[in-house]
Structure 1
Amino acid sequence: MDSRIDFLNWLEIDMSMKILTSLEDPADLARISCVSRTWRQFVVENALWKQLCLRRFPQLSKVAHVVEVNDCEANEPSAGSSNSKECETLERDHRAYAILGRRCKEFAAEDCISEAIGASSTDNYPEESIDNTLEPRDIVARRASYWSSKGQSDPSVPETLIYKLDSDFYVVTEINIKPFRAFFQLGFPIYSAKYVRFRMGYPKSPSDLVSDSMKESSHDDKFIWTYTSQKFKMARESILQKFKLPEPILCIGGFVQIEFLGRVQKQTMDCLFYICVSHVEVLGQSLAPALAVEDLDPSGRFVLKNNLQAKGDCKPGLPKRKSRAITEQRARQLQGLINEFEDFDEDYAEYILALEDESDEEFVL
C-alpha cells in the first residue's frame, strides 16, 4: 500500500492528456473525475468533457460560449481577476459538457417529430399534405393517409420533406420512412424513391415559418443545414424502412429535412413519376430542458445554455406527448367525414363506433 503513486504527479502533462483523451466512454471520464480533487481539477482545467463531446459531435465546435440559467436568469460573470474568470468559465463548460456527455451515452430513442413544416411540392393539397405522414395508420377517416409529390416527367427531380422536432437540441439516431402503396390503382404500385438523404439544422428566421403555404411548397433557402448524411438506398417496399445513422447526430436547431432522390414509379393515368410517403418517424432523445441552444446565427455559431433547475428531466423511457399536429389533423378529418355523411346517419354511426374501438392511448395528450 505504501508504494501507491498518483501517475498524474509523475507523468508529463502531455502524456497524461494522451492517456485520458483516449477514453471514449463517458462513464470512464465520470469515474476519473471522482477519484480525487486533483484528478477532477485536471479534468476541468484541460476541458476533457468538452474534448470528448467534440470528438463525438463536431457540430459543437460552433459553440460561442456556455451560459448557466438558474431561476430563469442567466448567471452573470463575477468581478475578479482574469485567472478567476477563466476558472469560472472552465467550471461552467465542465458542468454543461458533462451533462451532454452522460445524456448521450445511453437512452431509449423515441419518435421526436412535433410538426410537419413543409414539402417541396404537393399534388393535391390538403388531401395529400405532409401532415398525413405523421399518422402511422394507412387509412384514416376511410381515406388513404399519405403525402404525394407533384408528378414529373424527369425521374431525377428530387423532393424534400421538412419536420420540426419537439425541442431545438436533439440527439438523432434513426429515421424511418414508409413509402405509399396505392391500393386503389391497378397493380398496387409503390411510389418510393431510389435513395434518401437527411439534413439537420435551423431556420434563418423563425418568421419565415409562419406561412401555411410551406405545407404545399417549402423553400430550402429558408434553412441553414449543419449536418448532411450519406445517401441511403430505399427499397421498393411499403413497409416502415429503418435508416440508422452511422453514429448519433446532434440536431442543433430542431429541424430535419428528408430528401428523396430518384423516382421509380410512373402513374399510368398521366405517365408522370411521383414520390409518395405514408409515414415518417425521427428517432432520438431531446436534451431539453436541461440543455438548449440560443442565438443561432447564419455562421452556425450558438450559445449553449445549461438549465440548472432541470435536474432529473429527459429520462429515458418517459411517456411522450402526442403531437398536436396529429390531433388537429384528425379533428379536420372527422369534421370532413361529418360533412360528407351528414345525410347518412347509419354510416356515420358505424364510423363513430369504429373510432371508439381504437386504443385510447392514440388520443391522449
Structure 2
Amino acid sequence: MEYSRDFLSCLDSDTSLKILMCLDDPADLVRVSCVSRSWRRYVIANCICKQLCLKMFPQLSRVACVVELNQHGAKEHADVGSSNSMEWLTLQRDHRIYAYLVKACTSSVAMNCIAKTIGASSTDNLPQESIDNTLEPRDHVAGRFSYWSSNGQSNPNVPETLTYELVSEICVITEINIQPFQAHFQMGSPIYSAKSVRFKMGHPKSSLDALDDEKFVWTYTSPEFPMTQENRLQKFRLPEPVLCIGGILQIELLGRVQRQEMDGLLYICVSYVEVLGGSLSPPFSVDILEPSGVFVLKRDQLANCQPLMTSENDSQAIPAHHMRRGLRDFQHIVTILRGHIGVVEDDWDEEEYEVDDFEEEYAL
C-alpha cells in the first residue's frame, strides 16, 4: 500500500473516463465515487452515471432535463450563489437522479406490467372475442373459451395489433409472452397463431389530429420474432431491457397461418398476453413535452424511502438504517483495534472519505 498511487491523477482525463465507463454495474460506479473526494468529484463532473444510463437505455437520450421534487411536490432549488457552485449542485443532483434510476432499472423484480387493454385493430365477435380476454390466463371462464380473435382475411399478409396500457408511465420491459389460441371446438383443433411478432413502445399523442389515424408516438420498435404454431405460452425476450416512456405497448401480429374451415378465411387468435418488467413509479415520473417528444424526468425524494418493488426475500433483508450505521461505526471499530496493537497510526481522513447518505446507502 505504501507504493499505491491514484491512477486518476496519473492518467489523462480521456483515458480515466474510458476505464470508468467499462463498469457496467451501477453499484460499482457509486462505490468508485466513495473512494475519495477527488474520485467522487471526477465521477460527478463527468456525468458518468448519466452516461451509464444512456448506454443501458438509449430511450433516455430524449430527456430534456431532470427535476428533483421535495416532500411537498415542489422542485428543489439550489441556494443563491456563484455560477460555479450552482453548476456543481446541478451536477450533484443529476448524479443522484441517474444513479437512483439505473439502480431501480436493474434491481426491480419481474411482474406483469399490463394495467388494461386499449384496443385491437379488429375483432371478429364483440364482446365474446374481445381483447380483454387476453388478460385472463385461463382458457375457460364461466364455461366459455377465453380468447381474442381478429377478423377473417383472405390475404395472409394482413397484420393485426393489440395495444395495452402499462401499470405506469415509466417501466422497464424485458419480455413479452403470448399464447396463441387453439380452437378445440373446431374440427382438427386448429391453432390460430401468427407467423411472427414485433413490439412497439411509446406514449399517446397529446393532441389528436382528426386526419391522423395514429394515436401514439412510438419510441422503440423491437426486432421481429418468429412465432410457432403451438398452444403454449411463447416467450419473447427483448435483446436488451427497454425503458418504456409513456406506458403504451403494442403487439404487432405479422402473417396468418391458419384458415377457418367454415369460411376459408385466415384468422389470428390469442388467448393470453403477459408483459414482464418493473414499474419505476412512484419514485420516478415523466412529463412528455409535445410536439418535440422530449420529456422531463422527475424523481420524488419522499417516494424514495419506499421499495420500488417487493420480493419474497425482503423479509430477510437487513434494514437500510442498520447498514448505514454499520458503515459509520467502521472507523470507530478500526480505531479500537488499532488501539490494542498500539503501533499503527490512525491515518483515516474523514474529509477525504466523506460520502453522503445517498452514496452510502447505494454502495451497500
Cα deviation, residue 5, structure 1: 1.7
Q: Is the CA contact (8 Å cut-off) linking 2:170 and 2:246 kept in structure 1? A: yes
Partner SS for 1:54 = helix
Q: Is the CA contact (8 Å cut-off) linking 2:108 and 2:308 kept in structure 1? A: no
Q: Hey, what's the Cα distance between the residues in 2 that align with 1:149 and 1:220? A: 19
Q: Hey, what's the Cα distance between the residues in 2 that align with 1:109 and 1:15? A: 37
Return 5+ residue gaps in structure 2 as ranges.
Answer: 314-364
Deviations, residues 205-257 of structure 1 (Å, cap 9, x unaligned):
3889xxxxxxxxxx960000000000000010111100011111111111100
For the pair 1:256 / 2:230, whether they are aligned, the reply is: no
Corresponding residue for residue 12 of structure 1: 12
Mapping for residues 152-301 of structure 1, pairs under 5 Å: 152-205=153-206, 221-301=214-294
In the TM superposition, structure 1's runs of 4+ consecutive aligned residues that sit over 4 Å from their partners are none
Q: Give the letter aligned to residue 282 of structure 1.
A: V
Q: Which has the larger radius of gyration?
A: 2
Corresponding residue for residue 144 of structure 1: 145
Q: Is the CA contact (8 Å cut-off) linking 1:224 and 1:298 kept in structure 2? A: no
Q: Hey, what's the Cα distance between the residues in 1 that align with 2:48 and 2:81? A: 25
Q: Give the letter aligned to residue 73 of structure 1.
A: A
Q: Give the letter aligned to residue 203 of structure 1.
A: P
Q: Hey, what's the Cα distance between the residues in 2 that align with 1:79 and 1:206? A: 38
Deviations, residues 50-95 of structure 1 (Å, cap 9, x unaligned):
0001001111110000001112122235433332222122111111
Q: Give the letter aligned to residue 22 of structure 1.
A: C
Q: Hey, what's the Cα distance between the residues in 2 that align with 1:250 and 1:318? A: 24
Partner SS for 2:302 = coil
Deviations, residues 97-116 of structure 1 (Å, cap 9, x unaligned):
10111122233211110000
1:296/1:282 CA distance change after superposition, 3 Å = farther
Q: Hey, what's the Cα distance between the residues in 2 that align with 1:133 and 1:152? A: 21
Q: Give the letter aligned to residue 173 of structure 1.
A: T
Cα deviation, residue 318, structure 1: 6.8
Partner SS for 1:295 = strand
Mapping for residues 49-60 of structure 1, pairs under 5 Å: 49-60=49-60
Corresponding residue for residue 135 of structure 2: 134
1:44/1:296 CA distance change after superposition, 3 Å = same
Partner SS for 1:61 = helix
Q: Is the CA contact (8 Å cut-off) linking 2:136 and 2:272 kept in structure 1? A: yes
Partner SS for 1:53 = helix
Q: Is the CA contact (8 Å cut-off) linking 1:289 and 1:313 kept in structure 2? A: no
Return 5+ residue gaps in structure 1 as ranges.
Answer: 209-218, 320-365
Q: Hey, what's the Cα distance between the residues in 2 that align with 1:107 and 1:159? A: 31
Count of residues in correspondence between the two structures: 309
For the pair 1:314 / 2:315, whether they are aligned, the reply is: no
Corresponding residue for residue 340 of structure 2: none
What is the TM-score normalised by the length of structure 2?
A: 0.81
Deviations, residues 20-78 of structure 1 (Å, cap 9, x unaligned):
11211212212101111221111111000000010011111100000011121222354
> Percent identity among equivalent residues?
61
Q: Hey, what's the Cα distance between the residues in 1 that align with 2:301 and 2:220? A: 28
Cα deviation, residue 196, structure 1: 0.1
Q: Hey, what's the Cα distance between the residues in 2 that align with 1:298 and 1:263? A: 36
1:220/1:142 CA distance change after superposition, 3 Å = farther
What is the TM-score normalised by the length of structure 1?
A: 0.81
User: Root-mean-square deviation (CA), in Å?
Assistant: 1.8
For the pair 1:118 / 2:111, whether they are aligned, the reply is: no
